[in-house]
């Protein structure tokens, strides 16, 4: 492999190279295949969710599922859909996901992902004047039956030193007053969870609140706990394995997952270290060490699953990430009901969601659709892959 340019410009030739991938299957390296009890629990804890439906074997066995199930966004830990292929040295920054879930992942399910490179489009933004969005479409199946589908979007942005590159102003970690810590603590301890109570759409109204979940202050332990359950990019390798992957980048790229360009694996300092290290984040163009995009999307799902209860189904979730959260930030995620309607056997609940940090900045937005049985029974909802509500 030729010497790396750590801050290359985005050229028409490189854009055409990325565009040539559209429609091609992705060679995936899953982090998790099997949804074991501890594997599920580690993911749930990694997003700060101690719901006993995901974490307690006895509770799960007494639930409608007869076993522990996984949080919907557990599928990120199989393959998160992040794309960094076809544009060597151009930084991938997660932009968001459009999820459709068809049924719950249960304990001991073996999950197979099938991914395809999606469209690429060029655009400009407030913090980078030249970038692209690259997408991936993934189907997740258990025993050949679809459990979820995702279109994940990744910004591809030249780094700070390149023409039109990412250029957030550095921002120091926020210093909290005692009263602010008291608010975070109170919100965390007051977190609402519907649990075994059945979601009754006849008791809902448009405008009803989706109760808040609070995440933060974000720090290295927050990130370490998340990566224990959902490792992030396939470049996260320890010791000898990291050296092997660097060697594969130049001598055997066919051994690497190809949702990331070989140049990503070849870098001595992995660009994803920006999620932990402020100096790497600054070189990329971020304001500080920052959170993981799928992690924040999982936080959105946490707010919804708390509110909807055990037997409802989070059918759709779309999250758009608007700006990074950095170490020291705290994020509150809440929302409101925007739509209520019957559809066959189901009550369909639409909602709008948002994430706001301690500075009052809206850092992400989302929408979701939840299904619950109009009959009021707790039988798990299982849809086929053609269903859309």
* Tens-place pLDDT, residues 154-165: 999 989 988 888
pLDDT above 70 as % of the chain: 98
Q: What is the mean pLDDT of the chain?
A: 95
């609140």: which residue's tokens?
209
234 alpha-carbon distance from chain centroid: 15
Q: Is the pLDDT of residue 231 over 80?
A: yes
Q: What is the pLDDT of residue 7?
A: 61
Q: Is the pLDDT of residue 2 over 60?
A: no
* More confident site: 14 or 332: 332
Q: Is the pLDDT of residue 3 over 60?
A: no
- Contact between 85 and 117 under an 8 Å Cβ cutoff? The reply is yes
Give the domain ranges of the chain.
12-373
Q: What is the pLDDT of residue 130?
A: 83
What whole-number distance in Å separates Cα of residue 327 and Cα of residue 309?
31
Helix-, strand-, coil-residue percentages of the chain, each rounded to 5? 30, 30, 45
What whole-number distance in Å separates Cα of residue 112 and Cα of residue 2?
35
Radius of gyration of the chain (CA): 21
Cβ neighbours of residue 364 closer than 8 Å, sequence gap 6 or more: 96, 296, 300, 319, 320, 321, 322, 333, 354, 355
Q: What is the pLDDT of residue 1?
A: 42
Taking alpha carbons only, the member of 369, 388, 374, 372 closest to residue 311 is 372
CATH 3.20.20.70 is the classification of domain 12-373: no
Q: What are phi and psi of 251, to 5 degrees?
A: -110, -25
Beta bridge partners, 120, equal 134
Q: What is the pLDDT of residue 278?
A: 95
Omega of the bond leading into 217 within 30 degrees of 0 (cis) = yes
**What is the band of 49 on the pLDDT scale with cuts at 50, 70, 90?**
very high
Please report the DSSP string for 249-298 in residue order. Answer: HHH-GGGS-TTB-HHHHH-SS-GGGGGT-HHHHHHHT-SSSB--HHHHHH
10 Å CB burial of residue 236 (0-12, 13-18, 19+) is: middle
Q: Is 20 helix (H, G, I), strand (E, B) or coil?
A: coil
Task: Show the CA angle centred on residue 319, arms to residues 142 and 190, nearest 5°.
Answer: 95
State pLDDT tens for residues 162-188. 888 899 999 999 999 999 999 999 999
Q: What is the pLDDT of residue 124?
A: 83
What whole-number distance in Å separates Cα of residue 102 and Cα of residue 314?
8
């699953």: which residue's tokens?
305
Cβ neighbours of residue 368 closer than 8 Å, sequence gap 6 or more: 300, 304, 314, 316, 317, 318, 335, 350, 351, 353
Q: What is the pLDDT of residue 80?
A: 97
10 Å CB burial of residue 268 (0-12, 13-18, 19+) is: exposed
Q: What is the pLDDT of residue 5?
A: 54
């Amino acid at each position: 492999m030729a010497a790396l340019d750590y801050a290359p410009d985005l050229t028409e030739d490189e854009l055409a190279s990325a565009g040539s991938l559209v429609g091609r299957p992705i060679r995936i390296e899953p982090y998790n295949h099997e949804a074991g009890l501890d594997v599920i629990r580690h993911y749930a804890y990694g997003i700060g969710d101690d719901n006993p439906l995901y974490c307690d074997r006895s509770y799960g066995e007494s639930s409608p599922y007869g076993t522990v199930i996984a949080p919907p966004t557990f599928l990120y830990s199989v393959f998160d859909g992040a794309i960094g292929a076809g544009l060597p040295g151009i930084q991938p920054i997660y932009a968001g996901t459009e999820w459709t879930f068809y049924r719950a992942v249960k304990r001991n399910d073996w999950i197979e992902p099938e991914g395809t490179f999606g469209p690429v489009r060029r655009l400009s933004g407030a913090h980078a004047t030249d970038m692209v969005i690259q997408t991936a479409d993934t189907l997740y199946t258990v025993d050949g039956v679809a459990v979820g589908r995702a279109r994940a979007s990744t910004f591809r942005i030249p780094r700070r030193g390149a023409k039109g590159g990412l250029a957030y102003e550095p921002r120091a970690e926020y210093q909290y007053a005692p009263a602010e810590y008291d608010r975070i603590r109170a919100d965390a301890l007051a977190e609402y969870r519907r649990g075994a109570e059945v979601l009754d759409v006849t008791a809902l109204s448009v405008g009803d609140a989706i109760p808040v979940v609070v995440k933060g202050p974000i720090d290295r332990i927050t990130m370490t706990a998340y990566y224990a359950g959902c490792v992030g990019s396939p470049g996260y390798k320890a010791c000898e394995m990291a050296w092997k992957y660097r060697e594969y980048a130049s001598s055997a790229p066919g051994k690497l997952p190809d949702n990331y360009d070989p140049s990503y694996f070849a870098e001595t300092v992995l660009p994803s270290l920006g999620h932990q290290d402020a100096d790497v984040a600054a070189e990329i163009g971020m304001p500080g060490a920052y959170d993981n995009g799928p992690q924040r999307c999982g936080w959105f799902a946490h707010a919804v699953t708390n509110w909807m209860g055990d037997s409802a189904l989070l059918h759709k979730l779309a999250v758009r990430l608007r700006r990074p959260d950095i170490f020291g930030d705290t994020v509150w995620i809440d929302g409101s009901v925007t739509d209520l309607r019957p559809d066959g056997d189901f009550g369909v609940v639409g909602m709008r969601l948002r994430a706001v940090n301690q500075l009052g900045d809206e850092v992400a937005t989302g929408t979701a659709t939840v299904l619950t049985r109009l009959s009021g029974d707790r039988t798990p909802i299982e849809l086929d892959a053609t269903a859309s509500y």
